[in-house]
Every structure is written in C-alpha cells, then in structure tokens.
Homo-oligomer: A and B are copies of this chain.
C-alpha cells in the first residue's frame, strides 16, 4: 500500500459522493419524467434485519428492503423530506460548507420544508445514508464532539483557502483537532509505523509529554471517550492507506472495552454503512488481567457494570475471540475495574516506561 495509493483518495471519494447523490436525483427525475409516482428502495434498518457478519467483522443490514413511494399518501412527506435532504447535502458538499444534524433541522425551515422535530430530520439523514451508502460526514454533516491526533504525519488540506497547504501533526503539542478540515485532508507522508488510540485526553497528553510518538514511532489519537464516527473512519484510513497497525488503550472496565470494540467492529446503529471500523485493530488494555498482573488500584464493579458485561458476553462482536471472552470472564471473577490513570500509583511515567512497551510487544506476538 503505502503513500502512493493514498494520494487521490480524498478527491476520488468526494467525487463518488457527488455521483451517488446525482444518481439518486436522476432516478427520481426519470421516474417523474415517465409519468410514474417516484419511489426509492432501501434496506430495512429494523432490528430483525441487522445481522453480525463474521466475514467483514461488523454489523450489516440483511436482505429486507422497504419501499418509499410518493404514490402512498403516508409516504409523501418523508419522500419529499428525503429528496430535500439529498438536495441540501449536495449544496453543502458542492459549496464545501459543513453543518450539523441540528443545523439540518433548522435549515429545512429556510426551504419551507418542515420536520415535526429533530428526531424526524435525523431519521431522514439516516435514510439518505442507507440509500447512498455514504455517511453523513461525507455530506459534510458533522457532530459536535472532537477528538485529537498528534505525531509525525504530514497532511495536505483540501478545504477552501487551504488547498496546497500542509501541516505536520506534531506542530501543536496539545494535539491537532480531528475536524472536517483534518478528515478531508490527504496523507502526504509519515515516519510512524503504528497508531495508538487512547480513550482519554489526559493520557494522550501524558503520552505526548513522554515522547511516545518518537520512542514508539507512533501516531497518537485521543478518542475523547467513545470515538466519534469521523475519528473511527480516520483511524481506518490510517490503517488502510498507510498500512499502520492500530493499538487501542482504554480504561479497564466494560465501557472502555466496548470503546475499543466499536473502533474494531463498528456499531449496530451504523449497520447500513461501511468503512467506519478497523477489524485488524487490537485492544491492548487495560485488560482485567492487567488489573491482576499490575496490582492496580481498583473500584468495585457496580450493578450496571456487571449487567453490561453479561450483555457483551452475548454480543456477536465478542464471540469467537478468546481474548474478549477471557477478559469478560476475568472482570466477572475479580468484580473490579481500573482506570488508565491507576498506573500513576507507580509514578507518572510508569505507564509509558513499563506498561506500554510490554503491551505493544505482547500484542504483536498474540
């Protein structure tokens, strides 16, 4: 793979998005032109139609489809809303403006398009994702949450006013925000040989201070809790385009474990989308067995934690993998959890000097 392949990825992808929207519009136009009531077909997103696919290692939608037809009086409104959402997405992307789900809801009013509440407009955007196969971020509809990256990667911007400009992601030692400008950039070059994704911003800062990016030739990512979708797809790009292995460090509890799992296997909510997950990424810790091995300070698992562990044990994403099953069992046995900061009991740099190298080493052997 390497960097050559990545060169035109962003521009090509943008064009694909534009073609997808145009195809939808052309389809509706042609039906109208022939004197038909226009309709669209899309995969059903009902729970029964969401299946875990071991081949792609993520949730996907099954065979069931739903038809939305302007002929059906109950469908006229959502059909019109969908057509508007596609038109608005096309405006955003062609004018290179970004937006949010909240903005979409209010913007509709500028077109005298009404949604009874934001849930309704959110659903229509998900419909558009399902039909086109592109995510709302592809349509420049971004969430509030931001995460950050730091390390020796040079990016080339594609946003207006910054074309041709590059930035090396070591330029700001607090980390570089992963927003629309970053995720739409091309990869120019890197000396890193791995990606380390970290649940918490505080540990991300510690890793930068302790020079982990140099010592372990890595790109560091702060997920800021559950990684936003744009960050998950950015991690996948780093893996695919630059061929970098991905290691994930979270708190040692069911919630941290699942943050790693969603980066690896995606979420059921995004079963209608692809390219958000990184199946080859590795959850490197904090494992339940690390809590024992490193004698970490702990808190007891509470009822919600335990209930969550039993849920995860039955979750298809956790099946057929001895690591996940072993760690769930260990959590249930020790009935304890530990945060990443718990390593500070051995001094502030222990996690970087001792724990991290052993885990990076151990994971590559496993």
A198 CB–B CB distance under 8 Å: no
Find the residue from A144, A297, A344 having the highest chain B CB count within 10 A: A344
A181 CB–B CB distance under 8 Å: yes
Q: How far is the CA of A100 from the CA of B346 in the complex (A)?
A: 16
Q: How far is the CB of A119 from chain B (nearest CB, A)?
A: 13
Q: Are A179 and B171 within 8 A (Cβ)?
A: no
A323 CB–B CB distance under 8 Å: no
Known: A102-B202, A297-B109, A345-B107. A172 touches B167 (CB 8 A): yes
A64 CB–B CB distance under 8 Å: no
A interface residues, Cβ below 8 angstroms from B: 97-100, 102-103, 105-107, 109-110, 142, 144, 146, 148, 157, 159-162, 167, 171-182, 200-202, 205-206, 209, 211, 297, 339, 341-348
User: Can you spell out 20 A-B residue pairs with CB atoms less than 8 angstroms apart?
Assistant: A99-B348, A103-B202, A103-B344, A103-B348, A106-B339, A106-B344, A107-B347, A109-B297, A110-B346, A142-B205, A144-B201, A146-B174, A157-B173, A161-B211, A162-B173, A171-B171, A172-B181, A172-B182, A175-B179, A176-B177
A-B pairs, top 10 by smallest CB distance, nearest first, are: A174-B179, A109-B345, A106-B344, A173-B181, A174-B177, A100-B202, A107-B344, A174-B181, A102-B341, A110-B347
